[in-house]
């Protein structure tokens, strides 16, 4: 079996842990509690690709466009020109809802279809190779039943994979260990799970990142410490004695 083509994330350490990058077309859940750096990682991933000829789209559900842009300007990896050059697209999903006439709180199966096709049309029309949905949790929160959530996430994954779009679905976790998504179905249908956590050592919080699963490649399963600075994310293996109380 020939090795699958890789989508290089550009995040130092992560690509090494993935043996070269995310297998192209994979739909990956990027899970973490609030403030663990999911959005930053997502934007760095898109920026890296866009600068190398792979168009990227960021579907923002939780943050308005201007605010997001303002936060991203602090990072040295972020190149605003990529937006003007139509290589990096930021789409405010609440505006998309309005345009599609999806105004109510509850969604019908037809609404989900409408949204799904709007997302698919977007990635096709803009020749997208990389997508980030921030967050899939926020989209799903509008869907009352698990069956609807499954329908959306399953079809979305299938179609994005079909069009060769390597996708990060950002999943907002509210605690409970052993789960990587709020509605469980997201983790069942995704090709990969990358988990971001906060861990404590002697009273200080450190960010960690770990690849839980990734279809199509061998990968490290170790926990890495992630440092977020204005230069972007950097990773180094967590020291083995780093968490025990001894």
Ligand X SMILES: Nc1ncnc2c1ncn2[C@@H]1O[C@H](COP(=O)(O)OP(=O)(O)OP(=O)(O)O)[C@@H](O)[C@H]1O
Interface with ligand X includes 36 (CB under 6 A)?
yes
The nearer residue to Mg ion, 6 or 167, going by C-beta atoms, is 167
- The answer for residues whose C-beta is within 8 angstroms of residue 7's C-beta and 6 or more apart is 21, 22, 23, 24, 26, 49, 54, 129, 130, 166
Q: Which is nearer to ligand X, 64 or 164 (CB)?
A: 64
| Only segment of 20-28, 31-39, 140-148, 176-184 that touches ligand X (CB under 6 A) | 31-39
- Residue 145 buriedness (CB in 10 A; 0-12 / 13-18 / 19+): exposed
As a whole number of angstroms, the distance between CA 22 and CA 160 comes to 14
Candidate ranges 6-14, 136-144, 226-234, 238-246; the one touching ligand X (CB under 6 A): 226-234
H helices, E strands: number in the chain: 9, 11
Stretch in the footprint of ligand X (CB under 6 A) among 38-46, 88-96, 147-155, 219-227: 38-46
List interacting residues with Mg ion (CB under 5 A): 39
Query: Which residue in the set 229, 231, 237, 242 belongs to the binding site for ligand X (CB under 6 A)?
Result: 229
**245, burial (CB in 10 Å: exposed 0-12, middle 13-18, buried 19+):** exposed
Residue 144 binds ligand X, judged by CB under 6 A? no
Among 40, 47, 60, 181, binds ligand X (CB under 6 A): 40
Residue 71 CB, nearest approach to other proteins (Å): 20
Q: Which residue has the tokens 């559900």?
A: 61
Compute φ and ψ for 98, nearest 5 degrees.
-60, -45
Residue 36 CB, nearest distance to other proteins (Å)? 16
CA trace torsion 111, 117, 119, 124 (10° rounding): -170
By the rule CB under 6 A, 232 interacts with ligand X: no
Which residues bind to ligand X, rule: CB under 6 A?
A: 32, 34-40, 74, 172, 228-230
């Amino acid at each position: 079996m020939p090795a699958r083509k890789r989508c290089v994330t550009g995040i130092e350490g992560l690509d090494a842990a993935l043996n070269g990058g995310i297998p192209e077309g994979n739909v990956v859940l990027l899970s973490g509690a609030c403030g663990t750096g999911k959005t930053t990682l997502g934007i760095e991933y898109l920026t890296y690709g866009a600068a190398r000829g792979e168009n990227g789209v960021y579907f923002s559900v939780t943050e308005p466009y201007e605010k997001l842009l303002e936060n991203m300007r602090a990072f040295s990896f972020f190149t605003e020109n990529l937006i003007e050059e139509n290589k990096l697209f930021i789409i405010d999903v609440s505006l998309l809802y309005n345009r599609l006439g999806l105004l109510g709180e509850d969604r019908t199966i037809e609404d989900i279809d409408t949204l799904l096709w709007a997302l698919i049309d977007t990635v096709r029309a803009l020749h997208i190779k990389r997508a980030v949905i921030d967050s899939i949790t926020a989209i799903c929160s509008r869907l009352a039943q698990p069956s609807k959530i499954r329908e959306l996430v399953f079809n979305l994954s299938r179609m994005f994979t079909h069009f060769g779009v390597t996708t990060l679905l950002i999943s907002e976790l509210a605690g409970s260990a052993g789960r990587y998504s709020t509605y469980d179905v997201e983790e069942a249908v995704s090709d990969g799970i990358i988990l971001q956590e906060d861990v404590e050592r002697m009273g200080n919080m450190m960010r960690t990142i770990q690849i839980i699963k990734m279809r199509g490649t061998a990968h490290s399963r170790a926990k890495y410490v992630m440092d977020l600075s204005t230069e972007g994310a950097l990773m180094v293996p967590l020291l083995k004695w780093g968490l025990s109380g001894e």
